[in-house]
Amino acid sequence: MTSLRAAETAFRWVMRAYPASFRRAHGLALFELFRDEAREAYAARGSRGVLLAVVKAAGDTIENAPAAWHDSYRHRSPEALVSPADHRPRACDRRVGRLVHGLAHDVRLAIRRFRQAPAFTAVAVLMLAVGLGATTTVFSFMNAVLLRPLAERDPDRVVRVVARVGTGAVGAAARRFSYRDFVDYRERTTTVHELSGVNLATLLLTADNRTDQILGEIASGQYLALLGAHASQGRLLTALDDSPAAAPVVVISDAFWRRRFGGGPVVGERVWLNRMGYTIVGVAAPSVMGSFIAAPVDAWIPIESSGQALGVGWRQDRSQRTLAVLGRLRDGVTRVQAQTEMQTIAESLARDVAPYRHPEIDVLPGTLATGDQRRLATMFLSLLLGLVTLVLVIACANVGNLLLARVFGRRRELAVRLALGASRARLARMITVESLLLAAMGGIAALAIASSARGLFANISALPTLTLRLDVRPDMRVVAFAAAAALAAGTVLAVVGALHAMKPEIAPALKEESLGSMGSRSSMRLRGGLASVQVVVSLLLLVGAALFARSVQGAAAIDLGFDPTGVVVLDIDASGGRTNLESLATFESVLTRLEAVPQVQAAAMSSRAPLDSSTPLVRVSAQGPIARDVESDAPIASLLIVSPHFFDVVRTPVVLGRSFAQADDATRPPVAIVNETLAARLWPHGDALGRRVWVDATAMSAPSVVVGIARNAKYRTLGEEAQEHVYLPFAQQPRRGMALLVRSSGPPDRTIQTAQQTLQSIDSNLQGFFARTLQQHVDVSLLPVRFAAGLTSAIAACALAFAAVGLYSLVSFVVAERTSEIGLRMALGADQGAVLRLIIGAGMRLAAIGLAVGIPTAIVSSRLLSSLLYGVSPVDPAVFGAVTLVIVLVTFTACYLPARRAVRADPLTALRRS
Amino acid sequence: MTSPSEFLPLKPLHFLMLLALVDGDRHAYGIKKDLAARGDYRDVGPGTLYRSIAQLLEAGLIQDSGRRPATPLDDERRRYFALTALGRRVVVAEAERLEQLVRSARARKLLPSPFGT
């Protein structure tokens, strides 16, 4: 029955389309009638029937409301007729009615003309739909990543509090707050309430004798309420859950509930997270996705009962900046006021807990992406929006050209109308209505395209086990964007068309046109200009697409510094009740047993798989210990903790000195291996071997002795410049979470299976997660450039096709207009070649103008892409040559086809037509 | 007095609506059902129906009926409509006009004669 009530509400809204006088007279009864119908539909077919009834009623309203306005305008009720006084339309209704009447008339005329030219209408709407659809799709991504507020409740008041510290990976980590800092801010702030800290953590969830690695958010109790989340079952976390005495509870996501628990009853169930017992108290609604961009969150647990999920001692150590902080502005407080207050708190904290350095504080709108992520996403998406806007420009130019051709074709009709006394403004209005109608149809189709395109991109899968989840459902912002874009496109078309419709020369048009009449010269110049613009734009897009395509090749050719083929990777977490040392023993026996398997060539542990953007960065020094919490200019190096055979598994050569050995354990002096870049940076004289290096964040003050220098490799991203890097031995730096790397001659599936069995045979609680080949792992880094290449190629192909169609239709039109001239020329003895050259020459001149403008523009603008390109110059001559060739070929074909048609026509027929 | 011929020819929908009221007063939903039962305008929308009702009311061919059936299920607000005297004369005039048309069709042997001649 709720569907019935919803339908009634919907119909009440629909009824507003009628004039007030009509609603006063018949509104109630109309509503009753709808209700009768809806009830009957509900009885017969349930909610589907009701939906159908609403749709039908809406259609019926669209059909009748304009007529009702029309009636109310016409309404001149003679005294004799029964009509109670209050049913009579008011003056304002009548004014609106007159306007609606005129517009309705124009709309009807326009629709009739569209029906008379279905091909024109279809092509125009299709082109506008593709142009508007592409822009709307990209915008809906921008919306999801940059604009859509995280909070569903009162979104404008929810803010992110971030520390502003530099840029780059080090800066990104420092943007967060340590737990103790967070508590201090929470206690002192008066401008922001519900201040919540949150971070992602990998958790091991055990239920029904099975353990899975899941992603959870460790968050303050009021965090979910702050986001305005709702529970679909049970309840959400509350501030009470986040107190030391509270029993450990967990809320799980809707997706995880379906995936892991098969949608069965779970509220009140016991589960184990990192082998601590928790009670499931609720399932969050499907729309709750957490506040991290690349992370489909499976569970939420309060900070107080999170144990060591975020690290050892993270709640005491002010240097462990782990929490992202969100809060809600108190009523009447602006973001600037909150920021000023937070800054004051930061400064007083700096005094109280000196020498701890406190940063600048920013209070930002509460959206998904922050910091570097936001900067990158803004750059990439703006670029993309720019590209698809170019497609929209081409589409508009094309449709504009078609409209002009139609205006030209209708010049006799327009001239007759003018001669009969129609005002030029009225003609302009007619054209305007046509343009806006076309744009509106295009806009509606664009929304459909955008909402179906989200399926293509919504779950971009980086790895079989990891997906990027983005909520790209079109919301009001997206609809508004589509409407604005359609309006802009329509306005451009209307202005172009109306300007030309306003000046038909009456006398010549009324006479049957003279030989070779080409319309006004300015009109042809404008249409030629539009065609050239299309060539310019498709050239720009093609250059972008070709650069990205070359870049994919270039990226594949980049020397990784390691060999990803034949290696599988599994993440292992041995945190269950083990100390670091115990896990070391476990992992060593895993490696020993794996290496005994015949097909396994080598096996190793590493704190991260090679080429992983989450590889930690640390400060290193050749001079002395690195003081914590003090700004230092010590170089920053990426760090991997590896077992002895790591270099054999990934085949990175140790060029000087030795690799790690089994003997490098906790009882021996600490050792390290540095890469060539770090060695050259710290010891420019080339005597790195045997020197001492201090590595921050290793919780030890003793320096390590450099025993080897490894060949440079890519550590964090494919595009990184030569990066300083240091390796430490696993036996001296044991961890509980490691990546297991196995090089084997067997098929990857078999190797993964062998690895899992080996883990199980050592400890039934041990299992590998996110099993993948190292090649797959590396490919994740290639994803952005592959994505960009695919996308720009599609966009460019679209643009080129549009431009070809545009040029083709323009030349066809010219040929059709000049048929008699061509016939005359040929009758007088011009040969086919000369006529072909004449026509093709005219078309190619437009293409040449486009190239002359486009190539310099492309040379200047392709530099914008340079940061996204691998191994290819933004002004690559091969790319520019190939693109120019493609454009010349396509434009030539577009001109040749109609030209051939013209010369093949019988000169007599052509002459007779004039 | 308004002559019925001023209203001719009636729109088919208006004619059928007036016909539906010949047998007695009906509310809008009843009219709709009657149209559907005859097989014409099987699915006339509420807006179309009420615009026509408004036009017929304005032309004085129908009027609000004072009648309210005493069934408890019926809604107080539901409006019943009745033919006016003018309406009745118009519907008759329209029927005669249509009959005239049919007759001329028969005269041209388009339709079989009802008397089999």
Condensed to tens digits (0 to 9), the pLDDT of residues A589-636 reads: 899 999 998 899 999 999 888 888 778 788 888 887 776 555 566 788
Q: Is A584 exposed, middle or buried (0-12, 13-18, 19+ CB in 10 A)?
A: buried
Burial class of A56 by CB neighbour count within 10 A (0 to 12, 13 to 18, 19+) = middle
Q: Which residue has the tokens 């509460």?
A: A366
pLDDT tens digits, A338-396 = 888 888 888 888 777 755 555 678 888 777 666 666 777 787 788 888 888 888 888 88
Strand (E) or helix (H) holding A114 = helix A91-116
- According to the model, what pLDDT value does residue A172 have? 47
Sorting pLDDT into bands at 50, 70 and 90, what band is A264? confident
* Partner residue facing B47 (CB), from A36, A65, A82: A65
Determine the residue of chain A that is closest to B75 in CA distance: A32
Angle subtended by helix axes A521-557 and A476-501, to nearest 10: 140
First to last CA, chain A: 70
Hey, are the CB atoms on B45 and A30 less than 8 Å from each other?
no
pLDDT digits (tens, 9 = 90+) for B87-98: 899 889 888 888
B58 to chain A: which residues are within 8 Å by CB?
A: 75, 77, 81-83
Taking CB atoms and an 8 Å cutoff, what residues of chain B touch A22?
50-51, 54
Nearest to A113 by CA among A433, A412, A423: A433
Pairwise CA distance, residues B22 & A448, whole Å: 48
Please name the residue of chain B whose CA is at the shortest distance from the CA of residue A25. B54
A55 touches chain B (CB under 8 A): no
Q: Could you give the 3-state DSSP secondary structure of residue A274? A: coil
Lowest mean pLDDT among A196-200, A300-304, A464-468, A904-908: A464-468
Residue B20 CA to residue B38 CA, distance in Å, equals 10
Model confidence at A454, in pLDDT bands (50, 70, 90)? low
Q: Count the neighbouring beta carbons within 10 Å of the beta carbon of residue A899.
A: 25
Buried b / exposed e along A628-666 (16+ C-beta atoms within 10 A)? eeeeeebbbbbbbbbbbbbbbbbbbebebbebbeeebee
Nearest to A356 by CA among A166, A110, A582, A628: A628
- State whether B45 and A56 contact (CB < 8 Å): yes
Structure-derived torsion over alpha carbons of residues A141, A146, A151, A152, reported in degrees to the nearest 10:
-40
Instruction: Give the Cα separation of A343 and A50 in Å (integer).
Output: 56
Using the Cβ of B2 and the Cβ atoms of chain A, whether some distance falls under 8 Å is answered with yes
A54/chain B closest Cα distance in angstroms: 11
B36 touches chain A (CB under 8 A): no
Interchain proximity A77–B58, CB inside 8 Å: yes
B45 contact residues in A (CB cutoff 8 A): 56-57, 59-61, 63-64
Task: Kindly determine whether residue A64 and residue B59, on different chains, have CB atoms separated by under 8 Å.
Answer: no
**Maximal CA-CA distance, chain B:** 55
pLDDT digits (tens, 9 = 90+) for A391-436: 888 888 888 878 777 777 776 777 777 777 777 777 777 788 888 8
- B79 Cα to chain A: minimum distance (Å): 7
Burial class, A501, CB count within 10 angstroms (exposed 0-12 / middle 13-18 / buried 19+):
buried
Query: Is A162 a residue whose pLDDT tops 90?
Result: no
How many C-beta atoms lie closer than 10 Å to residue A524's C-beta? 18
Residues A842, A836: Cα–Cα separation, whole Å? 10
Q: Given the structure tokens 């504009």, which residue do they identify?
A: A400
Mean of the pLDDT values across residues A458-462?
50
Please tell me the distance in Å from B17's CA to the nearest CA on chain A. 15
pLDDT on residue A743: 94
Residue B40 has pLDDT above 90, yes or no: no
- pLDDT band for position A675 (50/70/90)? very high
| Contact at CB, A33 and B32, closer than 8 angstroms | yes
- pLDDT at position B117 is 45
Residues of A in contact with B28 (CB under 8 A): 29, 32-33
- B51–A30 CB contact, under 8 Å: no
**In A810-822, which positions are buried (b, 16+ CB within 10 angstroms) versus exposed (e)?**
bbbbbbebbbbbb
- Cβ <8 Å between B51 and A36: no
Instruction: Sort out which chain A residues have CB atoms less than 8 A from B13's CB and list them.
Output: none
- CA distance, residue A57 to nearest chain B CA (Å): 6
Give B48's contacts in chain A (Cβ within 8 Å). 60, 63-64
Burial (CB count <10 Å: 0-12, 13-18, 19+), residue A780: middle
Can you tell me the ipTM of this complex?
0.75
State whether A25 and B47 contact (CB < 8 Å): no
Question: Three-state SS across A507-530?
Answer: HHHHCCCCCCCCCCHHHHHHHHHH
pLDDT tens for residues A799-849? 888 888 877 877 877 777 777 777 777 778 778 888 888 888 888 888 899
Give per-residue burial for A272-295: e unless 16+ CB within 10 Å, then b: ebbebebebbbbbeeebbbbbbeb
Q: What confidence tens digit (pLDDT) does each residue in A187-211 have?
A: 888 888 888 988 887 788 888 877 7
**For testing the chain A interface, which of B42, B58, B76 should be mutated: the one with the most A CBs within 10 Å?**
B58
More confident position, A102 or A303: A303
Residue B57 to residue A80, Cβ atoms within 8 A: no
Q: Cβ contacts (< 8 Å) between A65 and chain B: which residues? A: 47
Is A25 at the interface with chain B, CB within 8 A? yes
* Distance (Å, whole) CA A865 – CA A709: 35
Q: Are A129 and A335 in contact (CB under 8 A)?
A: no
Most A CBs within 10 Å: which of B26, B34, B51, B68, as the mutation test of the A interface?
B51
Residues A641/A606, Cβ–Cβ less than 8 Å:
yes
| Contact criterion met (CB < 8 Å) for A63 and B54 | no
| Percentages (nearest 5) of helix, strand, coil residues in chain A | 55, 15, 30
Q: Tell whether A63 is within 8 A of chain B (Cβ).
A: yes
Best CA proximity match to A552, nearest among A781, A247, A353, A351? A781
Q: Which residue has the tokens 């005129």?
A: A102
- Smallest CA–CA separation between B63 and chain A, in Å? 8
Which residue would you say has higher pLDDT here, A805 or A748? A748
Q: Alpha helix (H) ranges present in chain B? A: 12-22, 28-38, 46-59, 85-107
A408 or A228, greater pLDDT: A228
A44 touches chain B (CB under 8 A): no
For the cut 70, the answer to whether the pLDDT of residue A509 exceeds it is no
List of chain A residues whose C-beta atoms are within 8 Å of the C-beta of residue B27: 29
pLDDT confidence band for A58 (50 / 70 / 90)? confident
How many other C-beta atoms can be found within 10 angstroms of the C-beta atom of residue A48?
A: 12
Assess B49–A contact: CB distance below 8 Å, yes or no.
Answer: yes
Q: How far is B62 from chain A (nearest CA, A)?
A: 9
A14 CB near a chain B CB, below 8 Å? Answer: no
**Most B-contacting residue of A35, A36, A52 (CB-CB within 10 A), to test interface:** A36
